[in-house]
Structure 1
Amino acid sequence: MDEFRLKLIEKTITFISREVETNQEKRSIDSFVQFAGDLLDADCVFVDTYSEANPNAVERIACYYQGGNKPDLGNTDVENLFPHDNRLKSSEAENCISIPLIRANGDSLGFIGIIYKSLRVDERTVELVLQIIATKAAQIIETAFLESHLIKRELEGDQIKRNEERLSFAFEGARDGIWDWNAHTNRVF
């Protein structure tokens, strides 16, 4: 491995270690894409996750454009994010490299991508740096995803408990109740 590649990889690992210690998850992902864009002199770096609502779509969670020159990538259909895409051609992109974000169970969570109008760093170095960032980004995104699901379940559990209490108060007030009859055993609950 040449010295330039090693230096970029070392900078990436150092940056991620420092960044994760000092930032919240969302800010870390934003800073990862900006770091990758600056380090690799890319025109655009983005992180997309697969949509829960529509598995054929992605949600862009972070994006960096060099010099603020935002290319028109349009909507986020998965089929349209690859080099044969006319929108990438219209933005004069010559290279689009993406690395999957892998969950702890091995499933794909999304991907980190980089777009170049003209590749300024060798492709293998770009892939290695993106792989390092993708590994940490996947951990952060999956943790945030699991935390949001736990909070959602907790809120749903609270709502169920409140509904049960309201139903109980209604039955008490009406001096009524609910019973269940098992016709096979002739038992009433």
Structure 2
Amino acid sequence: VDDFGADPTGVNDSTEAFQKALGTGKVRLVLSAGTYLVKGVKLPSWTYMVGQGIGVTTLKLHEDTPASEWVVTNADHTNGNRNIMVEGMSLDWNPDRQGGLGPTGGLHSSCLTLANVKFGIVREVEGINPALHCFDASAPTYNISDADYTKNGCRYIWFDRCVGSGYGDDGVTTHYSEYIFIT
């Protein structure tokens, strides 16, 4: 991602560099050691984003990021994504930005949210101080009106060796999803 202009020093906004590097997916995005300021990273299908380890590579929400944003989420909550892997990094929701922010509710304000994703792995990732959840595998909305609650939920998601702290609601949540593995 550094080849696309990302700044691992934690000084400049790297959101645009992440967007360029991710494109439409089918990429392996390797992050160097350091802190990247972002206004949220949206992962398309067939994406593998890997850092150098917890506490070594950090994605931190930029000062101007709205309270409803995620540090990392999939790109298409409505139609869904598939085959997403996030590994080896810390995700800092940065609640102190803009003088202190709280949750906006629903599916928002979390470190990592997968919504309507099939086949995902989140391995050795740390969630830090989200207003809502550290890790979330959910349907795109909590307002499900028909009897098939899991039709747009996540399927086949594995949270492996993840750790979270300072969350406002849940460390890990799995609304309307099935076949979720947590080790």
Based on CA coordinates, which of the two structures has the bigger radius of gyration?
A: 1
The higher-RCO structure (CA 8 Å, 6+ apart) is 1
By percentage of residues, which structure has more strand? 2
TM over 0.5: no
* Structure in which a larger fraction of residues adopt helix: 1
- Under a length normalisation based on structure 1, what TM-score does the superposition of the two structures give? 0.23
* TM-score (structure 2 length as normaliser): 0.24
